[in-house]
């Protein structure tokens, strides 16, 4: 048995990113707990909101959850770039995190637009 959201590529990819984000957050130096927490929360929010979108019946709300997941993915990208600018993580780690985020953002954008377009008909 499984949940419907588990079949989505974007959900699985967001879980892959969550592992990367948790690893990066765990390697941030002491005194940067605010960044660790923000990155981990935003990373967790992507699959959580994606799952909520799948579980929602009302198209307008469904699209809203996908947009929230997308915003969390963009927030994660910003956190990674902040860490890079502060020289807290190496370029390879940032690239390893940004690569799946680009795909997640594109997928969630497509899903949200598709749901909204169906709702407008």
Q: How does pLDDT run across 13-70, given as a tens digit for each residue?
A: 999 999 999 999 999 999 999 999 999 999 999 999 999 999 999 999 999 999 999 9
Q: What pLDDT score was predicted for residue 121?
A: 60
CA 50 to centroid of chain Cα atoms: 9
Whole-model pTM: value is 0.95
Write out the two tokens for 91. 């370029």
Helix (H) or strand (E) holding 52: helix 33-55
Structural domains of the chain, with CATH = 33-120 (1.20.1440.60)
Q: How far is CA 101 from CA 78, 105, 115, in A?
A: 11, 6, 21
């Amino acid at each position: 048995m499984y949940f419907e959201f588990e079949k989505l590529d974007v959900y699985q990819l967001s879980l892959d990113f969550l592992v990367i984000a948790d690893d990066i957050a765990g390697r941030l130096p002491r005194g940067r707990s605010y960044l660790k927490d923000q990155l981990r929360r935003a990373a967790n929010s992507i699959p959580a909101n994606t799952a909520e979108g799948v579980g929602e019946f009302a198209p307008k709300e469904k699209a809203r959850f996908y947009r929230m997941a997308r915003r969390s993915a963009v927030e994660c990208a910003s956190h990674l770039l902040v860490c890079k600018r502060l020289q807290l993580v190496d370029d390879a780690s940032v690239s390893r995190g940004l690569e799946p985020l680009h795909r997640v953002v594109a997928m969630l954008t497509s899903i949200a637009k598709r749901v909204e377009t169906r709702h407008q008909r």
